[in-house]
């Protein structure tokens, strides 16, 4: 687990948001039932905006790592738009959200990197990863792991806006290294702590959801790695006997996932819809085990 010291947040003419990302939506919704519906809806929108902002920043940082300056600029401009909307409507209080983060690890230019992808209702909060993901076919880039985590995040909009300004300026001056550093400060400062999903049932489900979302963006390698994570969690289910009377179903699903991993290794886009349907069916099956 990655953990940093937490500094007490102060709201001084800006916006500081605390997001506590938890394994799944259902349990959290019960707690939120007593809130004022209008206020709760507004909070949900703001949490989603904050995670869209981090998604665009992380995607820009990834594009910079891959030397895709024009793609990175598009993402930075999208991030600035979200930041402006969020600043206009930001609350002056802390609250919680149920979003989860996908984590994709890769080696590029001799350095190991972690890339975070916020999800909402089992899908990425933004689209548009495909133009960047397709460059992962470059032999100089190796994807090493993919899985779902939940993360505690503090987001200071004042610092974010300044980092976006600095990154754009450096990109336009073709200083990709400096632009990358500006965005890295945002991500490193925002992510306070990270934990793997403690429930193996939800870990299987959520990693299947991550694989499906990665497949939608045609990142076959990362989707296969997410399936590998799901298979590992199924083994944990078998070993710890977390669910009863499901031994044969778990064994069958492990075999099916192994077969699908083989299909994904072919990187055949004609198989995408069929595989997505399979993943959705498996997600429903696993969810019934809760």
For every residue of 37-92, DSSP letters joined together read HHHHHHHHHHHHHHHHHHHHHHHHHHHHHTT-HHHHHHHHHHHHHHHHHHHHH--S
Cα distance between residue 71 and residue 184, in whole Å:
17
Angle of helix 176-190 relative to helix 157-172, nearest 10 degrees, comes to 160
**Predicted confidence (pLDDT) per residue in 56-76, tens digit:** 999 999 899 888 999 999 999
Boundaries of every domain in the chain? 16-196, 200-287
User: Residue 100 pairs with which residues in a beta bridge?
Assistant: 119
Q: What is the pTM of this model?
A: 0.76
HSE-CB of 193 using CA atoms within 13 angstroms: 12
Model pLDDT for residues 212-254, shown as the tens digit of each residue: 999 988 889 999 999 999 999 999 888 888 888 888 999 999 9
Q: In the predicted model, what is the mean pLDDT of the chain? A: 79
Tens-digit pLDDT profile for the chain (290 aa)? 443 333 232 222 233 343 333 333 333 444 445 556 766 667 777 778 888 888 999 999 989 988 899 999 999 999 999 988 887 776 443 434 546 789 989 888 788 888 888 888 888 888 878 888 887 777 778 889 999 888 777 777 888 888 999 999 999 999 999 999 999 888 776 766 677 777 889 999 999 999 999 998 888 999 999 999 999 999 988 888 888 888 899 999 999 999 999 888 888 888 888 999 999 999 999 999 98
């Amino acid at each position: 687990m990655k953990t940093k010291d937490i500094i007490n947040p102060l709201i001084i003419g800006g916006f500081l948001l605390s997001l506590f990302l938890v394994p799944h939506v259902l349990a959290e919704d019960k707690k939120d039932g007593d809130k004022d519906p209008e206020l709760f809806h507004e909070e949900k929108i703001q949490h989603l905006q904050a995670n869209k902002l981090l998604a665009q920043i992380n995607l820009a940082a990834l594009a910079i790592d891959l030397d895709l300056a024009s793609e990175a600029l598009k993402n930075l401009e999208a991030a600035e738009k979200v930041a402006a909307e969020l600043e206009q409507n930001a609350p002056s209080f802390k609250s919680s959200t149920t979003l989860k983060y996908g984590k994709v690890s890769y080696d590029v230019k001799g350095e190991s990197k972690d890339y975070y992808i916020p999800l909402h209702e089992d899908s990425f909060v933004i689209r548009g990863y495909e133009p960047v993901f397709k460059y992962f076919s470059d032999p100089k880039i190796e994807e090493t792991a993919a899985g779902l985590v939940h993360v505690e995040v503090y987001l200071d909009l004042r610092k974010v806006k300044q980092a976006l300004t600095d990154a754009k300026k450096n990109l336009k001056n073709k200083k990709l290294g400096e632009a990358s550093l500006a965005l890295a400060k945002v991500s490193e400062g925002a992510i306070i702590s990270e934990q793997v999903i403690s429930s193996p049932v939800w870990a299987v489900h959520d990693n299947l959801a991550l694989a499906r979302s990665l497949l939608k963006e045609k990142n076959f390698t990362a989707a296969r790695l997410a399936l590998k994570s799901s298979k590992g969690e199924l083994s944990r289910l078998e070993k710890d006997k977390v669910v009863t009377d499901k031994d044969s179903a778990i064994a069958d699903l492990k075999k099916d996932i192994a077969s699908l991993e083989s299909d994904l290794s072919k990187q055949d886009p004609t198989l995408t819809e069929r595989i997505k349907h399979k993943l959705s069916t498996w997600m429903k099956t696993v969810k019934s085990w809760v």
